[in-house]
Structure 1
């Protein structure tokens, strides 16, 4: 029986903000500007009820108290955030200039790291208020900001992965043939919630030729006997993400379909085997891609091998050629190679993997062999 993990505390968030500020200083930055989104949730526990044109920004700098600039009408909500006791709140009213209110908190000639999802409107407003400042995206400046998970975060990610696994085991029991993709997607969403997800982010059901589109959304196509069906689903449980893919077959597959599925399974295994501390993230992509290229399908593997996961289902680091960031124990990311044959079908197999002291550990543990469904 699953249990709800202990909530993060104000001290947890205080420590995260302090580490982030020190990391910024070590990177030669005057500080960090954190807009509403996953970075703000991770650092403070605060998630504004609505993200609008009104400026909300967390200002972090080494040796200074963290300050959260918020619109006055949202100050009460911010005060109730778990991390609020670790913050100084500075509110502004609609009659005031929010950038003028924020400017005294910033080094007039400083270079700041900014959340990747910061609105251009706000960045331009700050630049106008402080023409001497400059900015760099957090993914570039501090790629490790949220990449390494602590024990409590790993516990949540493991529980989310187990819930996704339970969802897959149950979906194998439903009928596919004669039903629409959207019907099976609704089943997946209901099962994710049944097993503890508070948020369902995606339920991809790509049957037959639709499976050749990696980002196909479940549509109104009726699933038929003989279809290969790509299932890719996930969301948030206790604030942390799940994301897994399996490819099933309606009825008996052909030898060619079995062969391609096996190539992807071997590629996925090779990618997982490449996970080890100290190795570059690109080595996971290279290992999986090599198997698919040797089988003659290299031009049909059309996306990166993986992405990070945490308080969102897609975040740094990325398992892709050219990413030389070293893997570190506590990193969590997907390993999800695929082969996509336009007009015919696709195959993808995906697990979330965490880096350990001596390799990698899967957080998804359902069978990777092709399952036959009705």
Structure 2
């Protein structure tokens, strides 16, 4: 991972991007959304995976970001930020220190609760003259608290500004999306080289997950489903042995520095039959037509209509889908959603997953999904592996 710039360097660039989106009199931005915390500070916290309801916050100026975290999360946060004065703790947890190298301030007693700590941090870091911008993506606790402590005139809503900033990706963000995608592709290639009939879904999932971890990624989902189970949209792998002639639908993703990958391919042990080939061809054409239409300025719902029409006209006339793709970044599902009602126009620099899955219960399911970066007149591929229906020996 050493070839990627540090997350704190990336966060410094992204803070500048956000502050250019808000009014000049905003001096402090506050957010308790986990993705926006990583975006503004560079710290991606495992605590949010361990405890989904865990509360934390970032308080960012143009120059630096401070974190409000649990006492347990303070150690990893300090490792990233490197300055204990930027870390405000709450709750109870104990780190012992060998020798005399304890960071200054680490032995201070933390505040009891997140709410109490938020009051203290607001009072400590509030700007003397400028405004405080509050992100309300994670609810209104900090919004209401800021208005109560600082006055309504001192606090402004910058939720949409943060969303606008995150909608397009910088080169450092795209590098991480590419790395995360590459690790899934490495797993698929290992599967292609090593899979054989009789292996279980879990055996195949292990091949993919191993490549994710070996490359420095964090496995997030490895949905390996086979035979009739491949018609289940999102399901964990099981110990089901895979027989000759059965389809295998794999949808998988990992994160690198918090940035997601999400891609899918379809495999078959032995030669596919005519029905399998015809169905997959329709899905592949649908994706190709969707990709061919991608460019800055086209609306998400227009892309959806193009993909749906192509699949229907090329072999699945009854095809139905709720969406044919979505934005991706620090969330696996980001804006826009490529469906029939989202009129968001694509902008150069957006990163999207585009897909045309198909599920037929009691029979099988197929899927092809790629990640791309939108350009002025088209797209740059982030997923690079072939979109063919892979035949495994």
TM-score range, shorter-chain basis?
0.7 to 0.9
Say if 2:163 is the partner of 1:143. yes
Q: What residue in structure 1 maps to residue 79 of structure 2?
A: 80
CA pair 137-287 structure 1, distance change in 2 beyond 3 A = farther
Is the contact between residue 60 and residue 66 of structure 2 (CA under 8 Å) also seen in structure 1? yes
Pick one of 170, 176, 188 that aligns with 1:168. Answer: 188
Q: How many residues align?
A: 363
Q: Could you say which residue in structure 1 is the equivalent of 2:174?
A: 154
Q: Does 1:19 align with 2:17?
A: yes
Deviations 1:81-137 (A, max 9, x none): 24869x955555334722432454499x9883234xx378x5598389569699979
Instruction: Give the equivalent residue in structure 1 for 2:59.
Output: 59
Q: Name the SS for the 2:80 alignment partner.
A: coil
For 2:277 and 2:54, the matched residues in 1 are separated by 54
Distance (Å, rounded) in 2 between the aligned partners of 1:29 and 1:287: 42
User: What TM-score do the two structures reach when normalised by structure 2?
Assistant: 0.78
Structure 1 residue 350 corresponds to structure 2 residue 357:
no
CA deviation after TM superposition for structure 1 residue 340, in Å: 1.3
Uncovered stretches (5+) of structure 2, i.e. residues with no partner:
91-109
Q: Is the 8 A contact 1:176 1:184 kept in 2?
A: no
Cα 1:340–1:151 shift into 2, 3 Å: same
Q: Secondary structure at the residue paired with 1:221? A: coil
Q: Does 1:39 find its partner at 2:36?
A: yes
Q: Distance in 1 between matches of 2:40 and 2:257?
A: 16
Displacement of 1:316 in angstroms is: 2.9
CA contact (8 A) 1:35 1:58 kept: yes
Displacement, 1:175?
3.1
How far does residue 267 in structure 1 lie from its aligned partner after superposition? 0.5
Contact 1:206 1:216 in 2 (8 A): yes
2:254 alignment partner, SS class: strand
Determine the C-alpha separation between the residues in 2 that align with 1:83 and 1:299: 57
Cα distance change on mapping 1:200 and 1:9 into 2, 3 Å = closer
Matched ranges for 1:76-155 at <5 A:
77-82=76-81, 88-91=86-89, 93-95=110-112, 97-104=116-123, 105=126, 112-115=134-137, 118=138, 122=141, 126=145, 138=159, 142-155=162-175
Give a deviation string over 1:258-303, Cα, whole Å, max 9, x none: 1110000000111111210122233322221121233574654434
SS of residue paired to 1:172: helix
Moved more, 197-206 or 341-350: 197-206
Question: Alignment partner of 1:256: what SS?
Answer: helix
Contact 1:32/1:114 (8 A) holds in 2: no
Partner Cα distance (2:55, 2:221) in 1? 29
